[in-house]
Structure 1
Amino acid sequence: MKKLLLLGLFGIVALLPYRASAQISINVNIGSQPLWGPVGYDHVDYYYLPEIESYYNVPDRQFIYREGSRWIFSASLPSRYRGYDLYNGYKVVVNGRDPYRNFDNDRVRYAKYKKVRNQKIIKYSDDPRYYVVKGHPHGMPPGQAKKYYSDDRGNGKWKDKDKDKGNDRGHGKDKWNKHDDDH
């Protein structure tokens, strides 16, 4: 009996590392993405900017561009890109380490996006996930974003828990989802 108990305990201990390795880690960096970044991404390491053949490192808030044969890492773009509009230029999300090492492939692969101007960006998004981004028009801290919603016309409104009690705080007639207050 003692051997069976020890064998069972050994089996459980042997399985512990196996279970730990099956865990998944999710990294969300919505709050660190710039206002000119494209919507729809919970995590972004880099943007590739095809029109100026440069990269932007989201976590480090650095542009990466070529100067001759060297890669330069800088908080701003060089003067030769002075007229480039980050809000209108197309951005390709590239996740991974040191994407500029794959520049020759990226340059060819994403050249077709050089004149594309229809990408929706965070600044103009009505997705509540982006309300936490510093400088977003709604400019709310994370705890406040869930109290905010956008009506059918794209106008932002504060949820009012007193609305059902007859106090609408001057917000006018709003559409309310009964289940929104439960979250």
Structure 2
Amino acid sequence: MKRILLAVAFGVASLSSINTKAQVSVNINIGSQPQWGPVGYDHVDYYYLPDIDAYYNVPNKQYIYLNNGKWTFNNSLPSRYRTYDLYNSYKVVINSPKPYLSHKVHVKEYSKYKGYKGKQVAIRDGRSIRQARPVNNKNKSREARDNNKHDKRNEKGGRH
């Protein structure tokens, strides 16, 4: 009887451990996002920066840009972008591995945001907004939803 009781206790403890591990593995990286990143995301892997046709890897804190036809990974942008304003430029959240390998797709899809001066609040300027409306869906970013709304208004001839 003691063996059965011990086996049951061990089984329950194992299940509790598995459940706890699942809860701990939720991936939130709000604190590691740069202050110039847009508010409203509980997880970001990469930002695509259409104005300079570059990426920013959030976990590694690295910019990824083309240099003489090769992808360069660096902790800072090259001097040719010294006047680029990260806080007031449009950023596209991309949560897929190595997005620069799909660069042609991103250029085609997001080039319409090159020079876009619409409202996109930076984390530095909108902490209460981020906390009030987090996005939990990793696969469909707020930009993607907003872009769809923006595109539909343009198709109907509406204002934006």
Query: How far apart, in 2, do the equivalents of 1:24 and 1:34 lie?
Result: 23
How far is 1:26 from its partner? Answer: 2.2
Q: 1:121 matched to which residue of 2?
A: 122
Q: 2:71 matched to which residue of 1?
A: 71
Q: 1:58 matched to which residue of 2?
A: 58
Give the % identical residues.
56
Q: 1:41 matched to which residue of 2?
A: 41
Q: 1:80 matched to which residue of 2?
A: 80
Q: 1:95 matched to which residue of 2?
A: 95
Q: 2:142 matched to which residue of 1?
A: none
Give the TM-score of the pair, scaled to structure 2: 0.65
Q: Would you say the 8 A contact 1:30–1:129 is kept in 2?
A: no
Name structure 1 gaps, 5 residues minimum.
1-18, 131-183
Length, aligned pairs only: 130
Name structure 2 gaps, 5 residues minimum.
1-18, 132-160
Residues 92-123 of structure 1 deviation map (CA, whole Å, 9 limit, x = unaligned): 00002100000011011000111222311101
Q: Look up the SS of the partner of 1:31 in the other structure.
A: helix
Q: Counting helix residues as a fraction of each chain, which structure ranks higher?
A: 2
Residues 49-97 of structure 1 deviation map (CA, whole Å, 9 limit, x = unaligned): 0000000000110000000221000000011111110001100000021
Give the TM-score of the pair, scaled to structure 1: 0.57
Q: CA 1:128/1:53 → structure 2, altered by over 3 Å: closer, same or farther? A: closer
Query: How far apart, in 2, do the equivalents of 1:116 and 1:125 lie?
Result: 19
Q: 2:135 matched to which residue of 1?
A: none
Residues 16-73 of structure 1 deviation map (CA, whole Å, 9 limit, x = unaligned): xxx9xx9894200000000100001000000000000000000110000000221000
Larger radius of gyration: 1
88-97 vs 117-126, greater mean Cα deviation: 117-126
Q: Which amino acid aligns with 2:110?
A: Y
Matches within 5 A, 1:154-165: none
Residues 115-142 of structure 1 deviation map (CA, whole Å, 9 limit, x = unaligned): 2223111011142866xxxxxxxxxxxx
* CA root-mean-square deviation: 3.0
Query: How far apart, in 2, do the equivalents of 1:48 and 1:102 lie?
Result: 11
| Runs of 4+ with >2 A deviation | 22-26
